[in-house]
A and B are shown apart, each in its own frame.
Chain A
């Protein structure tokens, strides 16, 4: 195959390029409606429609779609109850929305030619900061200044000089680890898929015996795609369960230590 033929294969990072669909510039700010915005809107619309229609009948014996909706509800409710207790159920709408959005966004990312919203750190950081703000807001509203006790573990006063800064840094690092984990998982997985796909085309076009070797990366793609489906679910789950744990910290302060 000629050099141009190889060059036409999309690079592994091209799937993450953001392209404006409806350019919009207001006051020097670029707020264009991009492919990322499009897929985010699609996710929100899909989740809303599926959940609304599947439970609108409210049948006693659920059909397929209603079962899916009820399963999701049960899953998130159990998660909240086991981490934050009955009190945590107040945050059910928040956590459920977060979980459904992430799950759907990650799964949509697995569809060929789609755009993975969560593979951009700006999206995950925004979500993590939202969680962070929620945790601080809950803690301050509930405990007032007592919320600061979260940073003071039970220890001799001499040790507190070291422990308090450590606790504060540990608290501040939460939104970072939360957002980086989700973003890095999605980025790495999707890049890996594209790299293996590049191998298939490269080997297939090489001709002769090498063409037969392209079966190997093809098999790898199938395995990685299966793994990515698991990761897509798992990362949505991890993000929301950590949200639950942080909310529980804000609610109960030191009870779990």
Chain B
């Protein structure tokens, strides 16, 4: 955040005051208030700031590349795991390529399931951030 030279940004200042900058400043002055009382006051101010939504939880925005990568790996890993299971079962039972084909399709379905689930999570994430 860029701090303006002359006119202090009110949002920045109030957030800083709420998150303890004031306390640090007050620390240097002689203070006869007992520690616990000051702590309580700080807690109070913090709670106030949180209610106003000034102190926000740290959240990382998902990058487009990250989202794309997430969805593709979800899908591909479903297909691969399904195929491998089918192939192994075929080797155990000696049932030609049939189980491979069936489990490959199951795997593709599982992959789509995974991708849909992941995108649903991402959607709710984005909605959380909007609010």
Mostly, the A contact residues are: helix
Known: A61-B20, A177-B73. A170 touches B85 (CB 8 A): no
Cβ of B37 within 8 Å of any chain A Cβ, yes or no, is no
Bound Cα distance A233, B81 (Å): 28
Contact B85 A61 (CB under 8 A): no
Q: Contact: B74 with A177, CB < 8 Å?
A: yes
What 0/1 readout, one digit per residue, does chain A (38-79) give for beta carbons within 8 Å of chain B? 000000000000000000000011000000000100110010
Look across to chain B and name the residue whose beta carbon is closest to the beta carbon of A230: B63
**Interface class of chain B by DSSP:** helix
A-B pair count, CB < 8 Å, reads 77
Given contacts A185-B69, A238-B70, contact A169 B81 (CB under 8 A): yes
A169 to B77, CA, bound (A): 9
Q: Tell me the A198-246 residues at the B interface (CB within 8 Å).
A: 230-231, 233-234, 237-238, 245
Total interface residues on B, using CB and 8 Å? 33
A184 at the interface (CB under 8 A from B): yes
Bound-state CA distance A233–B66 (Å) is 12
B121 part of interface (Cβ distance < 8 Å): yes
Interface residue range, chain A: 20 to 34
Q: Can you show 24 pairs from A to B with CB atoms below 8 A apart?
A: A60-B39, A61-B23, A74-B58, A78-B57, A162-B109, A165-B106, A167-B110, A169-B81, A169-B82, A169-B106, A170-B111, A173-B77, A173-B107, A173-B111, A176-B77, A176-B80, A177-B78, A177-B114, A180-B76, A181-B70, A231-B66, A234-B62, A237-B60, A245-B121
**Interface contacts beyond A167-B110, A173-B80, A234-B63: sample of 19 additional A-B pairs, CB < 8 Å, sorted by A:** A61-B27, A162-B109, A165-B103, A166-B110, A167-B113, A169-B81, A169-B103, A169-B106, A170-B78, A170-B110, A170-B113, A170-B114, A173-B78, A173-B81, A173-B114, A177-B73, A180-B76, A181-B73, A238-B66
